[in-house]
Chains A and B, each alone.
Chain A
Amino acid sequence: MSIILLLGFNLFVSSSVPQGSASTDTPSGFSLMMGGEYKINYDIIVSQYSRDNYDVNIYGILAGKELFLGQKLSILPEMGMVKAGRSREGSSDSGYFPLFVIRFAYLISTGSSTFQIGFSLREVFNEKIGTDFLDFGIGFRM
């Protein structure tokens, strides 16, 4: 038996803009996506930020299908699981959540079909842990 693995590789580093008037969070993180033969994308999410009088950290993995909107623009609806935790002065609490994310990617033409630079915009819907943030990302795809 042979296994043929065809991987695309995306790395987008992002920082987030907090949403909501009561929010004081400044999440940031990175995502690593690998697009396979069937254009299924995997996305690692890492976010750490302070909120009110405690810290929040979110780690998770998401999967979704990339839908191309022309040559440069694509939309990636993704679902996955994250482990979210909060801590305050040595005490902590955590739980697992399903997460739904929509990412938009805009790719700049570099003249190469194997290396592209782009921007991404990611909306993270995470109302269940009181978090809702917008990621702006920049990265490359090869």
Chain B
Amino acid sequence: MKKSALIFLILGLASGCKNSFSVRMTSDYFPLKVGNTWLFDVKGDNNYRLEMKVTGTQISQGDSLIIVESGGEIHLFQRKTGIVNKVRELYTTYEGEKVFFGTFYEPYLLLPPLEGENWEREFNFSSFHSGENLEKSLFISVDSVTQTSIILNSENYENVYRIRRTIVEDNDSTVEYEWFAPDVGLIRKEVPADSLIWELVSYQINE
């Protein structure tokens, strides 16, 4: 009887402990509630502070989109079960004029993330402009999803997922690394080609 009581006590105590798997499984790696704010130190050619804030929502073609503002730019995200899509508009400049190709949904982050997974999407657009048929292709791939921990501004973030995002637009490619922390979201971003690094300084997440 004493042995059973001891086993139950140990299991009871163990059930109260924080389990990293349950953190990874149940946390939101990209919380997009209106009012959520992240403040980043941006280091590159110029060093400055950048605020990223969820400012509202809008309905577009029947989809509910989330508006995120950073550095005067507006980004739109679509939050669906198990996935965050980034809504992007594709333009090009032809003979001094801005030509619009279309709107597309980039699969930005799969939720909850899993180490080792990868996904990719290819978009091909064409637009008839001034008697010319203009074409544009975009290839986005995410791979190298790695679980890690990272210290930023003396704060230790655990159960972090780092992803590598490769964007190939026509013949130009850009590689970005992004770190997402549980119930925080984006905490670090690195664009090696531009020697650009974002690092989270502070954040405010609404429950």
User: Inter-chain contact count A-B, CB under 8 Å?
Assistant: 72
Within 8 A of A (CB), among B8-35: 8, 11-12, 14-15, 19-22, 24-26
Given contact pairs A65-B4, A94-B21, A97-B19, A128 touches B116 in the complex (Cβ within 8 A)? no
- Which of A1-9, A28-36, A80-88 sits within the interface? A80-88
Within 8 A of B (CB), among A36-66: 40, 52-54, 63, 65
Q: Are A95 and B20 in contact (CB under 8 A)?
A: yes
Q: Are B117 and A95 in contact (CB under 8 A)?
A: no
Q: Chain A residues with Cβ under 8 A from B112's Cβ? A: 54, 86
Contact of B11 among A40, A79, A84, A88 (CB under 8 A): A79
Given contact pairs A98-B11, A100-B15, A91 touches B22 in the complex (Cβ within 8 A)? no
Contact of B82 among A52, A90, A100, A128 (CB under 8 A): A52
Q: Chain A residues with Cβ under 8 A from B83's Cβ? A: 53
Q: Are A87 and B114 in contact (CB under 8 A)?
A: yes
Q: How large is the interface on A (under 10, 10 to 19, 20 to 34, 35 or more residues)?
A: 20 to 34
Contact of B114 among A81, A93, A96 (CB under 8 A): A93
Is A70 an interface residue when CB atoms closer than 8 A count as contact? no
Residues of chain A having any CB pair with chain B under 8 Å: 40, 52-54, 63, 65, 79-81, 84, 86-98, 100, 128-130
Q: Chain A residues with Cβ under 8 A from B116's Cβ? A: 90-91
Bits for B17-59, please: 1 = Cβ < 8 Å to A, else 0.
0011110111000000000000000000000000000000000
Q: Which residue of B lies closest to A62 (CB)?
A: B11
Q: Are B24 and A93 in contact (CB under 8 A)?
A: yes
Q: Chain B residues with Cβ under 8 A from A81's Cβ? A: 11
Q: Are B11 and A91 in contact (CB under 8 A)?
A: no
Is B81 an interface residue when CB atoms closer than 8 A count as contact? yes
Q: How far is the CA of A93 from the CA of B112 in the complex (A)?
A: 11
Bits for B62-101, please: 1 = Cβ < 8 Å to A, else 0.
0000000000000000000111000000000000000000
Q: Which residue of A lies closest to B114 (CB)?
A: A91
Q: How far is the CA of A82 from the CA of B115 in the complex (A)?
A: 21
Q: Are B14 and A98 in contact (CB under 8 A)?
A: yes
Given contacts A53-B111, A86-B25, A96-B19, 9 further A-B contacts (CB under 8 A): A54-B114, A65-B4, A79-B11, A91-B116, A92-B114, A97-B15, A97-B19, A98-B15, A129-B22
Q: Which residue of B lies closest to A99 (CB)?
A: B15
Q: How far is the CA of A34 from the CA of B106 in the complex (A)?
A: 53
Contact of B19 among A65, A87, A128 (CB under 8 A): A128
Q: Chain A residues with Cβ under 8 A from B81's Cβ? A: 52-53
Offer 9 A-B interface pairs, CB within 8 angstroms, sorted by A.
A53-B111, A54-B112, A86-B114, A88-B117, A93-B25, A93-B114, A97-B19, A98-B11, A98-B14
Q: Are A79 and B8 in contact (CB under 8 A)?
A: yes
Least Cβ–Cβ distance between A79 and chain B, in angstroms:
5
Q: How far is the CA of A93 from the CA of B24 in the complex (A)?
A: 9
- 6 closest A-B pairs by beta carbon, nearest first, are A95-B21, A53-B82, A91-B117, A128-B22, A52-B82, A91-B114
